Structures are given as C-alpha cells and as structure tokens.
Chain A
C-alpha cells in the first residue's frame, strides 16, 4: 500500500514537472494573377486557408521535449495545394554538450538569401510558395555534439519526401504539369525507403562563421522527365537520382557588412557539378535620420550545369533592398530582382509585412517574371505575375 502511495506521489510529481504549451497560427490568403494562365484549366484568383498549430511538452527539467506541428492548407481550386503535412513530430533530448533527436523535423543550413544550396536535409514544399523556402517535415534520427572544436551534426534520414508540385488547376507551374499522382521515378531500387545520411560541422572564430557539410542519398531536387498520365495526357514525372554533395558555407559579420558564401560540389550518376552563391548585405542603421534600417543586398548565383540546371539560377545576379521601419508594428519590406546575366530573364519580388494587433499580421507578396525565352527556366511562368494578400492570426 505504501509502495503504491509512493509511486502515485512520484507520478504526480513528474506530471507537475511537465511544462506544456499550445501555440500556432491560422491564415487566410488571396492570390490574384495579372493575366489568364497558359493552361485553360487555370484560374485568375485563388483563395486559401491554412492552419499550423504547435503542441509542445517538456519534462525532466526541460531535458526532454516533444514538439508536434501539423499543417493543413485548403486551396480554392488547386487540389495539390490543398494538402497536409506533419512539419514536426520530434522528440529531443538535450544533454550538456549534446542533443539527440528522433521523429519528424526541420533543419536549416546556410547563410545566403536567394537560394540555400547547402540546405539539403528537408524537401521543399513547393506548392506553398515559389520562393522554395517552405519545407516538408523530414523523418530523422539526429545527434548534435557541441565541442570546443565546433559543433557536429549527424543525421540518418530513413524516409524520403517527394517534392510537392502545383496541380492541374494551379498556377506557378510547369507546362505540362508535374504529375505527383503517378509513382515517382527513383534511381535507387529502394525508392523512397533509401536511407540518406547528412553531416555538418560548424565553427565560429570571432567575426567568422564556417560550415562544412556532406550529404549522401536521394537528391531532393528532381529531374523532370516526360510521361503520360492516366488520361493519356502529356505530363512531367519527377525522377529522383542519387546524390553525394559536399557543402561549404561561411559568413563574416563585420560592422555593417555581412559577407556570405555557399558552395557545393555534387556528384550524381550523370555528372558532377558545382554551384555557388556569394554576396553581401550592407546595413545602414537609422537610414535618412529615421529609426528605420536599410539593408542593401547583392548576390551572385552560379551553377556549372548552365541551362541544364534544375533551378532558375545558373549565372544570375540578385540585387535587393531590405527596409525595417523598427516601429511598434514591425513594418518590413524586402524587394529583390534576379537578373540572368546571359539573357533578358528577370524575376522581381516584393514582400512586405506589418503587425495589425497583438495577435495578427498582414503580409503582401508580389512576384513578376519577365523576358524569358523558350527553354529558359522561368518561361512557363511568363503569364504568372501575381500579388498575394495574407492575414495571419497567431495564438
């Protein structure tokens, strides 16, 4: 009887030592396109709702925690953009100089603005945004070691996530569309079950941050090959090859300057290639006598595969401006243009956001694609200039 009492007490104590929290966001957005799409099935405007709650609990004095972040979006027309994902379902054990992770998670590597070459752990959730910055949750086992000689990260990635692509009625897609209903093609006979591995070492020396990374496994970036769907229509099918990638990243933070570099060397069955992004961000604090900060950005983007590159950036220059008002509403604006050095192809982007209340923000996003010739990466987006308004409620 006494033992049971003790056990009950111990249990009650351990429960009371649990900290837990719910938070998250819901958003409503509308995307309007300047012109009708290339495909008659596409629409001029799309309304959409999304929710991303997050539940977190920790115990053992914060040493262990579990985070669960499901995501769901409902789109008015695009059946592929209507999708759900487990962004995070991650157990974390944090020791003194190490961390262990298991479950589904998200990892960010890299320093540059326009693209994240070294950031290869997670798949891109492309239907979310053409800027390729939203990610799908990645099943993983991970270990981090914090040492005087730098931080070491190791991941085993037991299951592959296919990239999402806009559906038949969706915009901002290839013509013909990428069919994700059909089975994706893989180089590895194990397909999505191929176990991938990733490792990274990072170190800070004064104003300098360095990182070296290695990835071996299924390439997150698919090659698109022609195919036929169930109705006999021409489509593109994603082909996921095997990739070995060495990555290098670095940032120097000197007064008003951030100097950034990311470079990768990729080995695939077809060929080896190199790519790099290098640039800077210069911050003018209290610009023009106001409390605002003005940042000037420039990056050069290179890919040795040239026009055969899987991304739109092969010999491009990005010029941009970041403006932060530093007001109570945290008003911000980022405007960029990416210029192809070998053609007249241009991609313009403006993103702005502002807090409305303690719990709500409004953001605007507009992108335009110009001057693409047939065969160029943005050619299929030539009628997809759009503006989007998004209202987000946080709880």
Chain B
C-alpha cells in the first residue's frame, strides 16, 4: 500500500471536522491492517493443516452414513472410498456404493482442482455408462444426506479466503477459530467458521452459513486417530442441518494408508472395472 493512500484527502482537511475525520479515517485504515494480519493468520493455519497432511499418499476406507430425518426416521448408506494425494493439484476421490441395493455398484469419481472447477464422473452399472457430471451440482446433497458434494471434496487451501477469529476451547481441546469464505461463487455457502485443534491441526467443528448468511449446518468430527505416527483421521462426523432438522452421521472404518494406489486407479475409463 502506497503512502499516498494513507494521507488524508484534501476535502477533509478543508472542512471543520477535519481532525476528527482524519482520526476516524486512520482508525479505519489500522482496522483494515489488523484484518489483513488476521487473514494472514487464518491462511497460515489452513496451510499448516494441509502441510501436516502432506505425504499421506493414498488411503482406503469404509464409510457408513446414517441419514436421519426430522421425525427421527433413519436410512443407511454404505460406501467404500479411495483417496489419492495428487502432487500439484487437489486430491482424487473414488467412492463405490454398496447400499442401498438399487445403487450398489455405482461409482463416483472426483478430481479436485485448486484453481478451477472439480471434475466429476458417475459410473452407472446398469447401463455400463460413465457419465461426466456438471460441477454445478457441488451444492447438491450427496446421496440424499446432509453432506453436499462440496463438503466431501478435499478442502484445498486455494478454494477459500481466510480470517482469524481467535481462540476457543472445544470439549477441552484448545482450538483456533478461523473463518473461510469460498472463492467459487457457485458454492452453497457464504462462509464457514472452523474450529481447528491447536495441537493436532484437525477440524473439530465447522459451522456452515448459507448464501443469505443464515446458519445452515454444523459438522462435528470425533474420535481422531493417528496413522503412520503422523496423520490424524476422524472416525466419526455428524452433520446437523439447523434449517431442516435433519442430520447425517458418518462413521469411517478400516482406514488404511499407502495401499499402493496410483493415478491409474482414478481414471474415468477404469471406473467400469471398479468393484
């Protein structure tokens, strides 16, 4: 920022209230300076989270989702997931559906990108068809759950702008509170408030605010376990929708690291072969 922009404009100096206005203006500038360091700190925390997860290579896991509607009725989803860490881009995710029975064998493939819209495909076993799907569906619920496609995509640092909001204690864990705003105008959220564990650098809680700024959902992650002496993964996450009264509980099991997966396992052309 140049010195010119910091000097008081001429029209203010000329008027009687000039000293007050000048003070007010300078206060405003110093506020924006604080906001900037805040954004720097928020970004730094997000970077540290990504950095601590770097080098995980690839993982496989089983995922069980219990969808609960406002009246308490529950339905079950089962999937198996594979994740690949990409070198200079977002992660790649493959999910094979096991339940409900009518979608058994359906495969979802997502290539997350840092600087552009993600690529997504769906393999429909009844038709033997691999279908590329529009990235605009990122805000749509994943299999009718309270998780949208964008909630399940890897949270790349570049996809948000950040602000630091302070410290808090969550279930006895000292946490940083950061706020992130999606860069993509097609995102379903205006902002997210994230509680980050100060020791393990994992997300403990995320509050999602809808486009109109109203609180929409809260995600709480639990039972973090460490793998390979380094990488933390939650065993359970609960997403609660405050507007609809519905919730989804996800439970991961059999999380395995470094399963020898490579780029070739995440090609759309290979989806038909995935079981």
Stretch at the interface among B16-24, B42-50, B100-108: B100-108
Distance between B262 CB and nearest chain A CB, rounded to angstroms: 9
> CA–CA, A289 to B270, complex, Å?
36
User: How far, in angstroms, from A253 to B110 measured CA to CA in the complex?
Assistant: 14
A106 to B143, CA, bound (A): 27
Majority secondary structure, A binding face? strand
Interface segment among A270-278, A297-305, A324-332, A377-385: the answer is A324-332
With A and B bound together, what is the CA distance between A328 and B102 in angstroms? 13
Query: What would 14 A/B residue contacts be, using CB atoms closer than 8 Å?
Result: A23-B101, A23-B104, A62-B275, A108-B129, A146-B269, A253-B133, A255-B117, A255-B134, A286-B139, A291-B141, A328-B67, A330-B102, A358-B101, A394-B100
Q: How many residues of A contact B (CB 8 A)?
A: 49
Q: How many residues of B contact A (CB 8 A)?
A: 39
The answer on a CB contact under 8 Å between B141 and A326 is yes
Whether B135 contacts A253 by the Cβ 8 Å rule is yes
Q: Which residues of B contact A106 (CB under 8 A)?
A: 128
Mask for B61-100, Cβ within 8 A of A = 1, else 0?
Answer: 0000001010000011000000000000000000000011
**Which of B76, B136, B269 is within 8 Å of A151, CB to CB?**
B269
The 10 closest A-B pairs by CB, nearest first: A394-B101, A256-B136, A328-B144, A108-B129, A326-B141, A359-B101, A108-B128, A106-B128, A151-B269, A394-B102
Residues of B within 8 A of A329 (CB): 144
User: A146 near B140 (CB under 8 angstroms)?
Assistant: no
Q: Could you say which of A43-51, A75-83, A93-101, A217-225 contacts chain B?
A: A93-101
Residues of B98-153 at the interface with A, using a CB-CB cut-off of 8 Å, are 99-105, 117, 119, 127-130, 132-141, 143-145
**Taking each of A92, A96, A286, which has the highest tally of chain B beta carbons within 10 Å of its own beta carbon?**
A286
Any A CB within 8 A of the CB of B273: yes
Binding site for A on B (CB under 8 A): 67, 69, 75-76, 99-105, 117, 119, 127-130, 132-141, 143-145, 186, 188, 264, 267-270, 273, 275
A-B pairs under 8 A by CB, number: 101
User: What is the CB-to-nearest-CB distance from B254 to chain A, in angstroms, rounded to a whole number?
Assistant: 15
Is A283 a contact of B134 with CB atoms below 8 Å? yes
Q: Are B144 and A395 in contact (CB under 8 A)?
A: no
Known: A326-B144, A330-B144. 11 other contacts (CB 8 A): A25-B102, A97-B264, A146-B267, A251-B132, A253-B133, A285-B139, A286-B188, A328-B69, A358-B99, A358-B100, A359-B101
Q: Determine if B136 and A285 form an interchain contact, defined as CB atoms under 8 angstroms apart.
A: yes
Complex CA gap A293/B100 in Å reads 21
Measured CA separation A78–B151 after assembly (Å): 50
